[in-house]
A and B are shown apart, each in its own frame.
Chain A
């Protein structure tokens, strides 16, 4: 990576979409949140609810039943030039959010410790159980997905989404499942991770203190005037809104810092 003049990641990926750009953002939690705390990413001005977008998927394919022919709805992301079927097909899958977010707690001594984030249980169980199933065969290019290619905008194949956990791989990957549920409004958030409250100090809450967010910046939102946000949120039984004591903080904080790195200098 080039050092020197810091560049915003958005500019970096504007020039070269495949370049890896990482940025980080410090933030302070002034009051501890009660558990459970969830990590969301948010997108602004992103029309997941556009008619042409919403229908651009093939639920049959995602059932893992038929991987050779896909619905016309997926067009133009149904098959590639050689007739290979994109897995998964359609505009929704093709535009899946692919930033990687990491949270670090800055300890008193100044050293940072990465927080454990749980990546399962973020999707609806019904989706995982019923709607998303992998085709029969092992999750690789010769097995379940032998007739498929990765969607054009993807950097990795569907069977590489979570190599560590086979139950969270392929179509059953919860990040994919969460993304595939189209949001209702152009400003939306999606559950990214759950904070692991088994960590020391996190048993009962998300303690106040200094943290920073590290983002592997891949997802371009600049072209349509979009914004990205990271939201840390606890919930009450009513869900996300009135729950945060730190609502003001998070809102303010989010705006500052979760507009991810519009201005954050690139650093290592």
Chain B
């Protein structure tokens, strides 16, 4: 792992894409490697989500290789290894060496928690003789209980893991030993072994493929365990070893495999196979030429080095499919396998706002505790015990002071509610369970349930202020459909039958037929899709396994147009062109990376020409076009049209390569591909050489439909006061269009577009807009900001980011286009850090991982692009629309529940323990406890444990339906109104009032000490237990008072808790002398229960305590009712909830209008005038489209505005560049 930091050093050399890769390395250990050919700026549609993974995978390969050159391992074939490597036995158990070292390791783990340390310190202090007011074991016993419970849990889990490990380690596999296959256990596998894996079996270690049952050492693997992708992937061995089909052949193999040191990057593997002699395998007829040419003769070592890439490697955790068997050479074993290297990584620990606030409060309470104890100790030292002869106290006063201080610490330690942590954990665990089991958040199509991967952030879901969303796969389905293409300047659409014209054209061979044929051939050839003929279905239909949905859509599109991609062998592709098969020899595949934004294949056509097919983003393709391009401008126009419709676009170009040039280039490329250092960059440079002077063929447009209910969800989010930002790799037009179609942007909403080329320009633009906003800056305006990735680089520079952020938060929504994963993360980080608002990032792809991990809450959509995002997220859902329920229902509920639990936990402890303070004034500040020691020890464990739990689990202020229907209700939790200093102080105040009342009232009733008709007197414990009873009742009823929704569980918890105390008292008073404890409680139950005074108090005192609460609550509910309260009330009385909300809404609407009237006279007008031209022009195209699409709706003001403009000009399409020019010139005129 030492190589990782080096990787970062290399990565930080300044180039943007490298940084991006660095981000991904940090954050996404298991990104995919889909060779996704289209890219971020792919002319409108292609978001590049799928492609990112590929970029990362490749990036890692290159850069890791750089580091790997320093440390690498050499595995000798059929020879003993000079080094001893790690055993293949794995142990995922936490406590590795069985249970030998369990205790110390376990204790170490446990006492890393502050709460336990605090507990322990208190327990130790209690052991000092004569110091503890609550006995020696009242802290130690609960602590040990907790530890024992966790220990049992840990042991149980660990045993399970040990068993699972054992099961794995004892699996058997065939290994080549002494010339024959022998079954041995997995754990005995060593580096350098040659193993035989059969169909449907898992690979026992990381293997380099030698040969397989299929031709050319092909095999299919399923990597669901590694990255969650269920599509089959193709892996292939080196041609040099591909026909070592017999054990004998394998035995003859000699040489070595050099590869990098073990690392955790799944899509990185750099190595070389060096054979010392040419084995007899080269007589292979198939592709001999290719193989031989690939060899280089190493003059010094007399060894042939053949590059090994991730494609040649089978990783532990993956499964062999559709292949009878495969021979593999073990290179990494046990904990050095990539799977195991990954399992050790953990996501960053996030803490919720409420959690942080709670922690601050606990720290505050800790200081209060110290102060309180100091005061008590001072009072104690002032109280002259020597006068009281009966006490016989004659200690040294200084010594005494310290001792007393400790006494008080022990006495008051529960002011810091240790139990809170436990309650919170339980409550959160169950809340998470609710999320996991919510049937309203099940994506039935794929049977994906919502999943809370952490429970620490449950309540944070109720406080979200910003939602930052990815687009593809998140807002859209990520189900691609080939919609249009532009070939040679003509648009063909799959919908309206014009594609038939295309087929006819190709068949007839009319004008433009050659371009069309070339284009369609390219669709069939230029990709990395694996065809899988599903024989079982009998119809011979082909299933395409593609790493990205775009690729599949394209190949399927080609199929519909009569160019069926049929077979892929390592060397060639066979396509069925309108009935006749054509074989294209694939010479090289220049893979997609997000830096390159394109992918190419170099093929030899059936007639022997060498061609380079290159597809990619319009920008990168246009850069590389040759001079005279026939359809250049026409295609641009088409691209823009496609983009405006929200389609993902790709450009297609071809180049003829002369054999001489190819030969020359091939060597360069080979050198690059075998480089152990900077392989990625060298490959890129090599590709650069050949991807030149292209001829444009056309473009494709793929539709990615919006997911269900996305516009509704976004509208609801906006209503709830949540700002929605979209961060996408898409083109600006596509992004704006999607913004419109998902109701993020309104018609007529001013759009601020930042689209600049340099730092100075960016600064000017930002400053200009900041000035335009004037007073409205940092307030929410009805405007949207659109910025592209390039400008974002400048905008995020330290001196601009502040202004940029101000500008962003002044807008209702923000759309960032063409952004890289690292930029997404940067935006999230900036927003989170600078505004202190709670942010939620939602995405589905590997490129969203960084952002998901940076945001306060990360939500992953378990989508088509694997599970990386979901795995890195805090909450995983199946569809974007479930976000609304996650926030409005679960978030808001969890928030209010958890706040109540926390406040209540503080309250109940303060209420009980402060009584000791009042009593201390009456007991000579001695620290005597008014209650019996075990009674108070059980306070948080038994008598008041259930109400907060029930409150945290079952309470709810409004029904889920109402919350979903009226997102406005979310604002209450969003503003954090349930838990802040004010609320906390209020609760503490209540606790103090209650503690005074609950102490003073019994005190007054017991001044005579006689509470019975028989004239006997009770002792302090009589009073103590009375008070304690009242505390328990008051505190439990207080929970009831705070509960909004009573269920039978609530009843059970509250009455049950009260009853538990009565029962406890009864039982506990009978312990002595049968059990050697609680002599002072002996017979107390008789005293307490026989006292009428006590029973009067049971009714009166809790009522008296809660009376102020009730009064305040009543006043508040009748005078200044919160929205939630109102809704709750009308819900209870079965009234129409909407009335409440509508009244409220009308009011606010009026208020807003009024406000606007006054505002408009100042800067607002200015702003609108400034922005008007921009908005009309930019939203023009989209307006037109939505205009047609939604013509049944009455035109809004925005429409009318647009229509005016349309009347003035012919509605013809205007490209962005011209738009921008217009805008700028307009601004300049001003």
Residues on A close to B: CB < 8 A?
36, 38, 40, 46-54, 59-60, 63, 72, 76-77, 91, 94-95, 122-127, 130-131, 178, 181-191, 194, 220, 223-225, 233, 235-241
Among the 9-residue stretches B204-212, B718-726, B760-768, B1086-1094, the one with 4 or more Cβ atoms under 8 Å from chain A is B1086-1094
A-B contact pairs, 27 of them (CB 8 A): A40-B1010, A47-B391, A50-B926, A50-B928, A51-B926, A52-B926, A53-B391, A54-B1020, A59-B1079, A72-B130, A122-B1015, A126-B1086, A130-B1073, A131-B1072, A131-B1079, A183-B1009, A184-B1022, A185-B1020, A191-B1015, A194-B1015, A235-B1010, A237-B1013, A238-B1093, A239-B1008, A240-B1009, A240-B1015, A241-B1007
Q: Is the CB of B1083 within 8 A of A241?
A: no
Q: A72-B129, A189-B1009, A233-B1015 are in contact. Are A47 and B1080 (CB under 8 A)?
A: no
Residues of B bordering A, CB below 8 Å = 129-130, 133, 385, 387-393, 407, 919, 922-924, 926-928, 930, 1003, 1005-1020, 1022-1024, 1072-1073, 1076, 1079-1080, 1082-1083, 1086-1087, 1091-1093, 1096
CB pair B388 A50 closer than 8 Å: yes
Tell me the bound Cα distance from A182 to B1017 in angstroms: 10
A239 touches B1091 (CB 8 A): yes
A235 x B1013 contact (CB < 8 A): yes
Given A51-B923, A126-B1086, A131-B1082, A236 and B1015 touching (CB < 8 A)?
no
Q: Is the CB of B1015 within 8 A of A224?
A: no
CB distance from B126 to the nearest CB of A (A): 14
Smallest distance from the beta carbon of B882 to chain A beta carbons, Å? 58
- Beta-carbon contact of A185 and B922 below 8 Å: yes
* The one of B392, B1072, B1073, B1086 that contacts A91, using a Cβ cutoff of 8 Å: B392
Does the CB pair A49–B1007 fall under 8 Å? Answer: no
Tell me how many residue pairs across A and B have CB atoms closer than 8 Å.
169
Shortest distance from the beta carbon of A126 to any chain B beta carbon, whole Å: 3
- Cβ–Cβ < 8 Å partners of A94 in chain B: 390, 392
Give the complex CA separation of A185 and B1024 in angstroms. Answer: 11
CB nearest neighbor in A for B389: A223
Q: In the complex, what residues of A have CB within 8 A of residue B385's CB?
A: 50, 52
Known: A46-B390, A54-B1020; 6 extra A-B contacts, CB below 8 A, are: A47-B926, A49-B928, A184-B1024, A186-B924, A188-B1009, A239-B1008
Shortest Cβ gap from B130 to chain A (Å):
8
In the complex the two chains form, what is the Cα distance from A194 to B1023 in whole Å? 23
Residue in contact with A239 in the complex, picked from B130, B1083, B1093, CB distance below 8 Å: B1093
Q: Is the CB of A241 within 8 A of B1005?
A: yes
Closest A residue to B1006 by beta carbon equals A184
Per the bound structure, the CA–CA distance linking A51 and B390 in Å amounts to: 12
Docked Cα-Cα span, A125 to B168, in Å, equals 69
Residues on A with C-beta less than 8 A from B391 are 47, 50, 52-53, 91
With known contacts A72-B129, A126-B1082, A190–B1009 Cβ distance under 8 A: yes
Collect the chain B residues with CB atoms within 8 Å of residue A50's CB.
385, 388, 391, 923-924, 926, 928
Structural contact, B1003 and A185, CB atoms closer than 8 A: yes
A48 to chain B, nearest CB (A): 8
**Cβ–Cβ contact A47 & B924, under 8 A:** yes
How long is the Cα–Cα vector from A46 to B388 in the complex, in angstroms? 8
CB-based contact A190/B1017 at 8 Å: yes
Report the minimal beta-carbon distance from A81 to chain B, rounded to whole angstroms.
15
- Distance to closest chain A CB from B1082 (angstroms): 5
Contacts of A47 in B (CB 8 A): 388, 391, 923-924, 926
Give the docked Cα–Cα distance between A189 and B1017 (Å): 8
Closest to A92 in B: B390
Q: A47-B923, A224-B388 are in contact. Are A185 and B928 (CB under 8 A)?
A: no
Q: Is the CB of A51 within 8 A of B133?
A: yes
Complex contact A183–B1017 (CB within 8 A)? yes
A239 and B1013 contact, CB distance less than 8 A? yes
Question: Using Cβ atoms and an 8 Å threshold, which residues of chain A touch B387?
Answer: 223-225
In the docked arrangement, what's the CA distance between A124 and B1087, Å? 8
Most B C-beta atoms less than 10 A away, residue of A63, A91, A95, A239 = A239
Q: How far is the CB of A127 from chain B (nearest CB, A)?
A: 6
* A182 and B1084 alpha carbons, distance in the complex (Å): 13
The 8 A-B residue pairs with the shortest CB-CB distance in the complex, in nearest-first order? A126-B1083, A240-B1010, A95-B390, A59-B1079, A181-B1019, A51-B928, A51-B926, A184-B1020
Collect the chain B residues with CB atoms within 8 Å of residue A77's CB.
392
Contacting pair B1010 A239 (CB below 8 A): yes
When A50-B926, A51-B923, A224-B387 are in contact, do A235 and B392 touch as well, CB less than 8 Å?
A: no
**Is there contact, CB below 8 Å, between A38 and B407?**
no
> Taking the nearest CB of chain A, how far is it from the CB of B857, in angstroms?
49
- Within 8 Å CB of A123, what residues of B? 1016
A9 to B130, CA, bound (A): 37
User: Closest CB of chain B to A249's CB: distance in Å?
Assistant: 15
* Assembly CA distance A76 to B1218 (angstroms): 99
Cα A225 to Cα B389 in complex, Å, equals 11
* Beta-carbon contact of A181 and B924 below 8 Å: no
CB <8 Å contact, B1020 and A238: no
CA–CA, A143 to B283, complex, Å? 114
Choose from A46, A49, A181, A237 the contact partner of B1018 (Cβ within 8 Å).
Answer: A181
Evaluate contact between B928 and A240: CB separation under 8 angstroms: no
From B392, B1020, B1086, contact of A124 by CB (8 A): B1086
CA distance A238 to B1013 in the complex (A): 6
A63 proximity list for chain B (CB < 8 A): 1073
| Complex Cα gap A181–B928 (Å) | 15
> What residues of chain A lie closer than 8 Å to B388, measured between beta carbons?
46-47, 50, 223-224
Residues from chain A with a CB closer than 8 A to the CB of B1010 are 38, 40, 189, 191, 233, 235, 239-241
Known A52-B926, A131-B1083; judge A189-B393 contact (CB<8 A): no
- Given known A-B contacts A63-B1073, A126-B1083, A131-B1079, A224 and B389 have beta carbons under 8 A apart: yes
* B1096: chain A residues within 8 A (beta carbon): 238
Contact of A236 among B130, B389, B927, B1013 (CB under 8 A): B1013
CA distance A150 to B1008 in the complex (A): 32
Establish whether residues A181 and B392, one from each chain, have CB atoms under 8 Å apart when the complex forms: no
CA distance A94 to B392 in the complex (A): 10
Distance in angstroms between the alpha carbons of A5 and B1082 in the assembled complex: 50
Within the assembled complex, what's the spacing in Å between the Cα atoms of A168 and B1024? 29
Q: Cβ of A36: which chain B residues have Cβ within 8 Å of it?
A: 1014-1015
Kindly list chain A residues whose C-beta atoms are within 8 Å of the C-beta of B1011.
Answer: 238-240
B1019 touches A184 (CB 8 A): yes
Give the chain A neighbours of B1003 by CB distance below 8 A. 185
Is A127 in contact with B1083, judged by CB distance below 8 angstroms? yes
Per the bound structure, the CA–CA distance linking A229 and B1083 in Å amounts to 28
Q: How far is the CA of A185 from the CA of B1096 in the complex (A)?
A: 21
Contact residues in A for B922 (Cβ distance below 8 Å) = 49, 185-186
Alpha-carbon distance between A111 and B1014 when the two chains are bound, in angstroms: 31
- Complex Cα–Cα for A59 and B392 (A): 20
- By beta carbon, the residue of chain A nearest B921 is A186
CB distance from B1024 to the nearest CB of A (A): 7
* Chain A residues in 8 Å Cβ range of B1008: 189, 233, 239-241
Bound complex: CA A239 to CA B1209 (Å): 99
Contact B389 A220 (CB under 8 A): yes
Q: How far is the CA of A194 from the CA of B1015 in the complex (A)?
A: 9
Could you say which of A52, A60, A76, A183 contacts B1019, with CB atoms under 8 Å apart? A183
Cα of A237 to Cα of B1095 in the assembled complex, Å: 12
A192 to B927, CA, bound (A): 29
- How far, in angstroms, from A48 to B1005 measured CA to CA in the complex? 19
B1072 in contact with A130 (CB, 8 Å): yes
A73 to chain B, nearest CB (A): 8
Residues of chain B with a CB closer than 8 A to A95's CB = 389-390
B1227 to chain A, nearest CB (A): 80
Q: Which residue of B lies closest to A237 (CB)?
A: B1013
Are B1012's CB and A59's CB within 8 A? no
Distance (whole angstroms) from the CB of B950 to the closest CB of chain A: 34
Determine the chain B residues whose CB is within 8 A of the CB of A131 once the complex forms. 1072-1073, 1079, 1082-1083
Least CB separation from A73: chain B residue: B130
Chain A nearest CB, measured from B205 CB (Å): 65
B1010 to A: closest C-beta gap in Å: 3
